[in-house]
Chain A
């Protein structure tokens, strides 16, 4: 078939259509180095596929929803996941499927293969973009191989690749991906080698593990490490790992296990094989004329070269220090790494945070001198900053657990909706779900006692039993969340819920869970159950971390409020002035400091009034809802919310998510599928769109809006408004 080349057919002129990986393998094979045989599916096959299926334009529409510079990291995840799902759901056109299937069958039959990316430009000199694209191991028979070829193609648009799209010169209508399909060698030992060790120009570095090298490459298996004299091959040092694990191919899966006891104390390479590996690196370096980064594997007495590419400087080194992309890439964590992170978060970070908030809560701020209060404000500000750092460094990366599970779920179930997996993660006892249940329960009980909801507004008429329930609910809610609820507002919430219990959490995830687990082979099931458990913890934490952080923040707010109260009492600020934490502390310490409000932005339009009528963001909860908008700008707005309104906010704070089940739809400025609002919306089946720029500015309370959660679109409809309320 045109567009499929055996390694023997590839020559240097083919580089633009086969990519550097395939060309290097072909050249090594030709020079006599043992390379597992295989085929390259050239870039023209990718191009024909995306053209004939219309995928090219669908990708363009997906990536042009909004300017890249306005997309948050979570939105890039989402765009990439939706694109991946497009590839997973779009079969090869008939003729292509027949031709490719036949070529694969002729070459490999049912033999297991590795399916790897070979993107032109992936190993461009000057910067290494290794790891942006996907590879899959141990895939057998043409049909699954073709599916995984599509997934490798999809990884041309992986979130990491999208972040580096400028450097990669990614262009929707020009870029293409070649794929290497190669005989799978179930290696006894495997590894990587830098013929020139990073930072040690006279040494060669070799890392080796038992089993497949995938675990080493993705960082889940710790290797044995050697440094060797680059000139002589003499061993300079050997560092074994604390414990040896390996990845092995079992049936259709790859599993991780501890190495058998007889191997546990033995390095995966003995000295003669280590010398063979060293020599292989020398051969590759001589052939390509530059230091090489070589992947290899051994089977019996044979040593195979899996990949050779020039040693390049790490791409991130050349970027500015405010470049967030290296941080972003650290978000992609392995399962084992995430399990460790979970342990740290659940058993160490969250309890510490709670203890710290409790200690602060017991401090008597009113009794402090001005100087002591100023010190308390500063120290609390520092505490909030520290926990905000933890939030970015540990809590957000842990959200990757949901995504990791999502990918496994999508690959095995292949649902129409790439976020179906979120259903399995909801209902996991999030603090906010418990709180909502408390409110509902109280409303039900009061509904039985009170005949007329009006009674709630008058404590004289209200039966004692109902009053007790309200008092206890207010206390429970204040305890459970970081937002103390005055009784008046508790009454309002309860009366809203009284006749309408709001939407109940949507479908029972049990059925989906069994569908998912049935698709998983027996050997992989225990690990997948652990992954699901991890993803649930990840979803729960995504919700609860804001509540925990909210408790700490509340203690800062309390101290600042006490400071402002004192400044107002002495006439140094007015009731409407809102000095920040550090400014409040400065003013408390030094009576000569005068309050200086920050400049407010003004955007005056002289020639025309400009107002969006329809905006596109990210589809975050399927469904369509229409209603009058309620824009939440401050805490007070929450208590004006009426059932059936469209909730418009910057981002749903778990502290006020109890109104979400009453909303006709939800619109958030902050984008992403894995953010709190989207999780709640999916849980209750509420149409939701996130990532709408300036949502709280161009939509006004009282606007009639339609929210299309399938398309990610929000429209103000005519007639534009109902009568505005103040």
Chain B
């Protein structure tokens, strides 16, 4: 029972939005911050990057379960009914070697302005294998879109 409205909303969020809120677990306490992201592999993978000295890096190293929230709100009351929000649940791992090269090219295609950051070997590219997206439309309609593993 595919609902094209939700699929279309998700596609639009993944291609149209540059940033997502990344949620990680800090020894069981929630921790959130904003990251630049790119969706690849038919949306089953999200890429983001961070420095190895950051708290989120530390958190992911000890618990690789993450959530990313992507939305198109405009900071207007209309957002309540018109904004779309997708929450991706999955696991994160740092990319290395050839995977990293391929991922980096895709990531920089969207976020070229971050190219300089990768000059540091400590700026790490992560991939999140998405298990499921929860897509919210019309304020409180929630649809689960489960990805092929």
Contacts and interface: CB of A to CB of B under 8 A. Distances in A.
Nearest to A605: B2
Given A64-B82, A611-B146, A697-B1, A616 B7 contact: no
A610 B134 CA distance: 10
B148 A608 contact: yes
Interface in A509-564: none
Contacts of A613: 134, 142-144
Given A66-B138, A694-B1, A698-B1, A610 B143 contact: yes
Interface string A56-76: 110011001110000000000
Interface in B39-63: 42-43
Interface string A604-615: 010111111111
B141 A608 contact: no
Interface string A158-189: 00000000000000010000000000000000
Interface stretch (B13-21, B23-31, B73-81): B73-81
Nearest to A712: B140
A21 B81 CA distance: 34
B147 interface: yes
A27 to B, nearest CB: 38
Interface residues of A, number: 26
Contact of A614 (B2, B42, B141, B147): B141
B149 to A, nearest CB: 11
B148 A60 contact: no
Interface in A671-726: 694, 697-698, 711, 713, 715
A603 interface: yes
A664 to B, nearest CB: 21
A65 B148 contact: no
A610 B141 contact: no
A614 B1 contact: no
B132 to A, nearest CB: 9
B1 A64 contact: no
A610 B7 contact: yes
B106 interface: no
Contacts of B81: 60-61, 64
A605 B146 CA distance: 11
Contacts of B141: 612, 614-616
Nearest to B130: A608
A7 B1 CA distance: 58
Nearest to A60: B81
B69 interface: no
B145 interface: yes
A650 to B, nearest CB: 15
Given A608-B145, A610-B6, A612-B3, 20 more contacts: A57-B77, A60-B78, A61-B81, A61-B139, A66-B138, A607-B42, A608-B2, A608-B7, A608-B146, A610-B1, A610-B2, A610-B7, A612-B142, A613-B134, A613-B142, A614-B140, A614-B141, A616-B141, A698-B1, A711-B140
